[in-house]
Amino acid sequence: MLLALWRYLIRVDSKEIFSLPNRVDSVDDVHGPSEARALVGFWLNKGMTAPCRTPSKWMRDGIRPNSQWGTAIRARIARQVECIRHWQVINDYSCARDVEATWFIDPPYQGRLGRRYRANRIDYPALADWCRSRRGQVIVCENVGADWLPFRPFLVAKGTEGKRRTGRSVEAIWTQDGHETVASATAAPATLARPGPSRTRTVHKLLFLLTDRTSRMDNRRGGRS
């Protein structure tokens, strides 16, 4: 489903995005291809591993309206689809050509934090070898506690709050230039990152995005999650 959604975004006309309803009580209100309903469904409740059918309580209560599906998000996506026409989607990262590039690799979390990804069957040692073998700049994201590469703490981001959620996500990173310190929670920065524009990184957790050196980080941001 994620592959189909990305392929839809790569080819869809911005006018079609603008034609989607900006207020929905259910994805059943979206009259269009299944990929369009999935797109809206992902924005009805942030941070989910599959599209939702109805809006989250936050969305219903109007909390952070520009972070949920609506006029602002619809307009942002309509603008951004014009910038990704050259993207290609493959369903097996190991099939990607090893070219000189900036590699941004953001797989599902290892261990407990990745348990909600129903399709998470990643061989992390094999993925680690693949990451180390890439040519060019390599950036790999994870959460503190992952040990399949020598990750280091990167930032403490604002996460979802709840009865079993702290509202803090301690992100870790490994880069090709080599940081040989395994991340630990005590070594993580103590301050919260300032909230910024929502990135597309989430739908994105099962994808490995390759950008050429000229576009660098702009392509992966789509102009995060």
Per-residue pLDDT tens digits of the chain, which is 225 residues long: 888 999 999 999 999 999 999 999 999 999 989 999 999 999 998 778 789 999 888 788 888 888 889 999 999 999 999 999 999 898 888 899 888 889 999 998 887 777 766 667 889 999 999 999 999 999 999 988 899 999 999 988 766 555 655 567 789 999 986 433 333 333 333 333 333 333 333 323 334 433 333 333 333 333 333
Residue 225 has a pLDDT of 34
Domain map (residue ranges) of the chain: 2-83, 93-221
Q: List C-alpha distances in Å: 68 to 116, 170, 176.
A: 21, 23, 35
pLDDT at 116: 67
Which is nearest to 156 in space by CA: 146, 105, 166?
A: 166
pLDDT for 63: 82
Per-residue confidence (pLDDT) for residue 91, from 0 to 100: 82
CB-based contact 130:93 (threshold 8 Å): yes
Burial of residue 166 (CB within 10 Å: 0-12, 13-18, 19+) is exposed
Q: Give the pLDDT score at 108.
A: 86
The predicted pLDDT at position 15 comes to 95
Q: What CA–CA distance (Å, rounded) separates 170 from 50?
A: 22
What is the predicted pLDDT for the residue at 218?
Answer: 36
